[in-house]
Amino acid sequence: MATPKLSPVSPLRRDDTPRAQPPSSAVLRVQDASAAEAYERYLRLPELSALREPGRFPGWAGEALVTPALQALEVTFRLASLALSDPRGYASRRELARRLECLAAREVELAAALCEGDLGAPLAELSASGGVLPRERSASEVWQLPGSAAAVVCQPSEASLLPRLAAWDKSETLAARITYAIEGQMQGCAFTLGLGEPNFAGKPVLEYDRVVRPHELHALKPKPEPEPRSGYRNRENETLFTMYQILESWLCAASQLLARLNERIEARNWEAAASDCWILERVWKLLADVEDLHLLMDPDDFLRLKSQLAIRAAPGSDASFCFRSRALLHVANTTRDLKKRVPWVLGVEVDPNGGPRVQEAAMRLYHSRRRGEGEEAGKVELLQAFQAVEAGVRRFFFAYRQLVAAVMGTAEASGNRALFVPAEGMDPLAQMFLEPPYYPSLDAAKTFLADYWVQQMAGASAPSRPS
């Protein structure tokens, strides 16, 4: 049966009829280079970037993608240690521990998704030692696989903080839940992480200490210098520092993920590209979860630290602390540039006169009975994932503005400025909320498709006239 012809309620313009183009999204840029450099020095980002330089493992294609994700997970273990060892009586230790447990579980889920199908990672085979326990690895365990008489040696990480958290009475429950999350999420991978998880399948273990370099990673801590006059040591300094190292590590992973996503789109590997796009959407949600940890910081200590670090939403400069991150701006801009890939996915060229060529191609794809077959396989999922990522980006920045108001006050959020100043005078965060949709052709195609089905249902339910 032939596919019925779509008849939008609003007539489409002819391709040769010029029409005004919608305003394009402004490219996010660092407006205050000195503030961005101070941000990078504070977080020791040059040293952190040096720990994940690619090329240390020839033949491992996923090195640049997996390494920062696992480093973010390891820094999360450090933040859990800081939270549970905080001596302040007014600290939100219990809720922060719950949040960090959930955050670590989400990070493990994303890391496992990135490791699926990765066959080039540096691994330690369990049977390589022949059942001999090396003296220099005190954490190694000897055990037998079910149905086999041969003994194998499981060599977990020696430098990671997770095994230490498992041995501490304050954090053993948290660590146990994380290790079982690792065991469950890594089921679809060819290897496991080697962080103390049971490894019931007896899979090869990632050489975690060589990849993540926990000793060097945990050496990148803030210097706990007391205030010159009062001698007060602000504990929130370590918390803020560690939170943003997690954020920057995931931004590095997102940047590499976007590069792989664009390569797969270029190669017309639609299904793999859609998978990467869904992972990217979850990364944006994870970034919002990291930012939400601000809510559990003590107001007085944080605002005291804020005045020292000059975290301020000044109207004449970058509106928010997040816009000092070059990595965040790069990932946000690259994510928004995915809209330029829609014509390539649909197999059409953009009409220079502003006609609905892309919109019509999207409508045909959405309505086609063979949309999941042949060359069309994966296209609809990829387009859906594009718009899901757009929602994730907008959700992140909208939530960030609300977070700034909750943590620093509404004066810092400057929530009403967008109503009274021209667009060019707004701060970058306010401009983002007034941007048009990233995918107007997909939006219009769905609008007309919905109208089409309304008409079809109305026609089917109308009473037939008597003959």
Burial class (CB in 10 A: 0-12, 13-18, 19+), 409: exposed
pLDDT at 428: 67
Residue 421 has pLDDT above 60, yes or no: no
Once rounded to an integer, what is the mean pLDDT over residues 359-371? 84
Q: Where residue 415 falls among pLDDT bands split at 50, 70, 90?
A: very low
User: Do 256 and 301 sit in the same domain of this protein?
Assistant: yes
Query: Could you report the per-residue pLDDT of 102-151, keeping only the tens digit for each?
Result: 999 999 999 999 999 888 999 886 554 444 444 555 455 555 555 655 55
- Looking at the fold, whether 236 and 177 belong to one and the same domain comes out as no
Determine how β-strand 151-154 pairs with β-strand 141-144: antiparallel
| CATH code for the domain in which residue 370 is found | 1.20.58.480
- Domain carrying residue 55: 51-221
Of all residues in the chain, the percent with pLDDT exceeding 90 is: 50
Q: What is the per-residue pLDDT for 310?
A: 72
- What is the percentage of the chain residues whose pLDDT exceeds 70? 79
H or E element that contains 173: helix 172-185
The predicted model gives 158-183 an average pLDDT of 94
Partners of residue 204 on adjacent β-strands? none
2 found inside a domain: no
Q: Is the pLDDT of residue 169 over 80?
A: yes
Q: What is the CA radius of gyration of the chain?
A: 26
Q: Indicate the residue among 190, 221, 252 that finishes a domain.
A: 221
Q: Does residue 447 share a domain with residue 356?
A: yes
3-state secondary structure of 45: helix
Question: Is 402 found in the same domain as 263?
Answer: yes
Provide the pLDDT for residue 69: 97
pLDDT at res. 419: 38
Whether residue 389 has pLDDT greater than 90: yes
Q: Return the minimum-mean-pLDDT range out of 94-108, 187-201, 372-386.
A: 372-386
* pLDDT at site 145: 55
Q: Please state the domain count of the chain.
A: 2
Instruction: State whether 178 and 241 are in the same domain.
Output: no
DSSP line for 312-377: ---TTS-SSGGGG-HHHHHHHHHHHGGGGGHHHHHT----TT--SHHHHHHHHHHH-TTTTSGGGT
What pLDDT band is residue 435 in, cutting at 50, 70 and 90?
A: confident
At residue 241, the pLDDT reads 95
C-alpha span between 156 and 209 (Å, rounded): 9
Mean pLDDT for the chain overall? 82
Q: Is 107 exposed, middle or buried (0-12, 13-18, 19+ CB in 10 A)?
A: buried
Does 396 share its domain with 453? Answer: yes
- pLDDT on residue 377: 84
441 within 8 A of 348, measured Cβ to Cβ? no
CA distance 224 to 308: 14
Contact 150, 141 (CB under 8 A): no
**245 plus 149 within the same structural domain:** no
Contacts of 190 (CB under 8 A, 6+ apart): 118, 119, 203, 204
What three-state secondary structure class fits 192? strand
The closest of 164, 163, 171, 162 to 98, measured between CA atoms, is 171
Is 9 inside a domain boundary? Answer: no
Q: Is residue 23 part of a domain?
A: no
Is 246 inside any structural domain? Answer: yes
Last residue of a domain, one of 201, 221, 241: 221
Q: Report the pLDDT value the prediction gives residue 353, as an integer from 0 to 100.
A: 77
> At residue 316, does pLDDT exceed 80?
no
Helix extents (H) in 196-341:
208-212, 214-218, 236-266, 270-291, 299-309, 326-336
User: Which has more pLDDT, 405 or 281?
Assistant: 281
Res. 432 pLDDT band, cuts 50 70 90: confident
- Region of poorest pLDDT, from 6-15, 85-94, 267-276, 368-377: 6-15
User: Which among 286, 281, 314, 285 is positioned nearest to 404, based on CA atoms?
Assistant: 314
pLDDT in tens, 261-311: 999 999 999 999 999 999 999 999 999 999 999 999 999 999 998 888 876
Among residues 221, 248, 263, the one where a domain terminates is 221
Q: Clarify whether residues 108 and 252 are in a common domain.
A: no
- pLDDT at 302 (0 to 100): 92
Residue 464 is assigned to a structural domain of this protein: no
pLDDT of residue 13: 39
The answer to whether the beta carbons of residues 166 and 196 sit under 8 Å apart is yes
Same structural domain, 195 and 241: no
DSSP element (H, E) containing 206: strand 205-206
> Do the Cβ atoms of 282 and 389 come closer than 8 Å?
no
pLDDT digits (tens, 9 = 90+) for 197-206: 988 888 889 9
186 and 245 housed in the same domain:
no
> Is 319 in the same domain as 367?
yes
What is the pTM (predicted TM-score) of this model? 0.86
d(CA 452, CA 23): 28
Over residues 155-162, the mean pLDDT reads: 88
Token code pair at residue 387: 């718009």
Report, as an integer, the average pLDDT of 80-88: 93
In a domain, 17, yes or no: no
In this model, does residue 98 exceed pLDDT 60? yes
Residues 6+ apart with CB under 8 A from 97: 80, 83, 84, 171, 174
Between residues 29 and 41, the one the model is more confident about: 41
Average confidence (pLDDT) over 185-211: 91
Together in a domain, 140 and 257: no
Specify whether the CB–CB gap between 18 and 431 falls below 8 A: no
Looking at residue 192, its pLDDT comes to: 93
In a domain, 467, yes or no: no
Distance CA 369, CA 365 (A): 9
Please indicate, yes or no, if residue 37 is contained in any of the structural domains: yes
φ/ψ of 132, rounded to 5, equals -95, 125
